[in-house]
Amino acid sequence: MAEHPPRHLLIPFAGRGSPACRAALSALKLPNLESLLSRLSLADTDTQDESTRSPPHERALAKALGISATDGCIPWAALEARHTGLAASGDTEGWGVVTLCNWQVGIDDVALGDPAAIEIDANESAALLEVARPFFEEDGIALHASPTPGRWLARARIFDGLATASIDRAVGWPISQWSPLGDSARSLRRLQNEMQMLLYTQRVNDDRAARGVPPINSFWLSGTGALKGVVTPAAPAPTVSDALRVAALRDDGVGWAEAWQALDAGEIASLLADYTRGADVALTLCGDRAAQRYTVQQRGLARWAKSLFDRTRAAAVLESL
């Protein structure tokens, strides 16, 4: 009989402290998650406060991929550049992710809109990359396209050691709260101002206004750092589910609960079925403050009997995240 391959499922935004999502927790019915949690054991917990630039799901993913980094310096851009061949395997220079976005100007502050909602296509991204490139190059930053429209990879020495906030931390909050600090960030703030003025004049935004979609009026820098040495992922590397992200960032309690129930009936049910067939499975649940990793540490009759009496309430676990 064929052996079942190990699986690791990582779920960002499994817990959410925003008002509507927190209110939705008490009525949330997740039978497959509860059944799975009663069979697995808590193997690892990472708890920090909500001021970290790297959210729990990024810290957990980095750890699983064998990447050690300080807060705000998980080198996602450098890792992607290495995987796509933009950077050689021995490249140790700093990289960053430049994401085009819509800054929402309010009466008292400017908030970061979710870049995933701006509906940018490949042609718009390519046109804006060409007009932006000379401005970045003046500051010693080389820009490269990525497979995702509106998302560029940038290489520069200043990105090595520059702490930046994940988009998943900053969306919906005043940009002043999450912008990079320090001397090396001054040139970036000036570059953002230049880009705001440049983008305002672009025909791309005229066309977007005609389509009724938000203007692209700035960029967000994240994923900064240098990748030094060989990265050795744990086995198996996690599969990351983004099912809860959009509703969580919008504090759409109803949508978040519906997405959780679909996740419970889909990927969680599949993971539970694999466990039942004897596979080595792991589940990492992440919220605003904490990540908890659950693994198989015991099987057999004793574990089955314990699971009958030790029924874990999913809501309590998710609330602790």
22 CB-near residues (< 8 Å, 6+ apart):
16, 253, 319
With contact defined as beta carbons under 8 Å apart, do 251 and 234 qualify? no
**pLDDT, tens digit (0-9, with 9 covering 90-100), for 197-228:** 888 888 888 888 888 888 898 999 999 999 98
Report the distance separating Cα 85 and Cα 88, nearest Å.
6
pLDDT, mean of residues 186-193: 87
Q: Supply the pLDDT for residue 88.
A: 82
Q: What percent of the chain has pLDDT over 70?
A: 94
306 pLDDT band, cuts 50/70/90, is low
pLDDT tens-digit readout, 220-267: 999 999 998 777 787 788 999 999 999 999 999 999 999 999 999 999
Please say if the pLDDT value at position 165 is more than 70: yes
Per-residue pLDDT, 184: 74
Q: What is the spatial distance between Cα 216 and Cα 199, in angstroms, rounded to a whole number?
A: 7
The C-alpha atoms of residue 267 and residue 247 are separated, in whole angstroms, by 18
What is the mean predicted confidence (pLDDT) over 56-74? 95
What pLDDT is recorded for position 314? 84
Q: How far is CA 74 from the centre of its chain?
A: 11
For the entire predicted model, the pTM comes to 0.91
pLDDT of residue 215: 87
Q: Which residue ranges form the domains of the chain, and what is each CATH number? A: 7-64+233-319 (no CATH), 76-226 (3.30.70)
Rounded CA-CA distance 66/113 in Å is 31
Residue 312 — pLDDT band, cuts 50, 70, 90?
A: low
Specify the pLDDT at position 309: 47
Alpha carbon distance 18, 252 (integer Å): 9
